[in-house]
Structure 1
């Protein structure tokens, strides 16, 4: 019972500092956290698929591993923000990632689709924050995510186009070497 009272008191203290932070925005941010963690998990699975001996694409492995870390960092940034605003973080189970991909092109197309979905959700969070008259949340989303999302989508689209031009195993191999050397954008 004492433990319950202590938790209740601590939660109440968080609520004291809460100002102009709508429950709908809190829920949408929780959805975003879980979406970022899902992307992190998928990128991690993809990275290690391309690290397998029978696939051996060290450039793509490195690129996807970095993307996984960035998604985790995004989730952590949002969680820190939630704590600052007096929100309650609710993590859900991370769905099992897609197991593997035919080739590098299919993986990059999937990555672009994930980034488009994440970006759309961020735009929805921003729109909701605007509707709820929460300029702090709007600023947080703009300052930390929107431009990075656009830049990341451009990198993926460029990589997809480069790989589409390759067309065969030799081209795939050369593309991977290209990624190891930082690619046209110096990596994602």
Structure 2
């Protein structure tokens, strides 16, 4: 074994020494969550640049989805930092190809809501698992950093979907997009 491998082995041993009350099942589920957040990041990025195309030209939705992409990447990074603090091993998988385009703004927002509901359900399952594994630190991490933000984001998306459903015209969609310029995923449009 070379010197480099020896140092990596010692470093990994140190991570394992500081690991306490962190079940492998929780570590695995956190890795799944990281990859789910990165998948959402890529999908929102694809959505943002779909709405930036000259034939679509929806700067409000472009900005909204670009912000959502950044938030999902930040969530993944936050979980990765947490994993390192707990002595876990981060395993990144390949990110599936995102849906490249949408027929309408309404279809894109509905897709975003489905993604957020899926991410939220996974977080709830992770929280349940952490409780079953008697890991209050992981429960606290999920509660403090994700659960309320997910609920807030879902409400914003549901409101936007309903507002856009009521618009039901090109002018209505144009005005909705103008409104989106000042809205954010967790701002509630304020």
TM range (shorter): over 0.9
- Of the candidates 149, 167, 189, which is equivalent to residue 186 of structure 1? 189
Deviations 1:78-123 (A, max 9, x none): 0000000000000000110011000100000000000000000000
TM-score w.r.t. length of structure 1: 0.97
Q: Separation in 2 of the partners of 1:182 and 1:161?
A: 15
| Residue 96 (str. 1) matches residue 97 (str. 2) | yes
Deviations 1:40-65 (A, max 9, x none): 00000000000000000000000000
TM-score w.r.t. length of structure 2: 0.96
Task: Structure 1: state its 5+ residue gaps.
Answer: none
Shift of 1:7: 1.0
User: What secondary structure sits across from 1:90 in the alignment?
Assistant: coil
User: What secondary structure sits across from 1:7 in the alignment?
Assistant: helix
Shift of 1:181: 3.0
Figure out how many residues of one structure are paired with residues of the other and give that number. 187
User: What secondary structure sits across from 1:96 in the alignment?
Assistant: coil
Aligned to 1:135: 136
Task: Structure 2: state its 5+ residue gaps.
Answer: none
Aligned to 2:6: 5
How well do the aligned residues superpose, as a CA RMSD in angstroms? 1.1
Aligned to 1:177: 178
Superposition map of 1:52-63 within 5 A: 52-63=53-64
Aligned to 2:38: 37
The list of structure 1 runs, each at least 4 consecutive aligned residues, that deviate by more than 2 angstroms after superposition, is 181-184
Q: Separation in 1 of the partners of 2:170 and 2:104?
A: 10
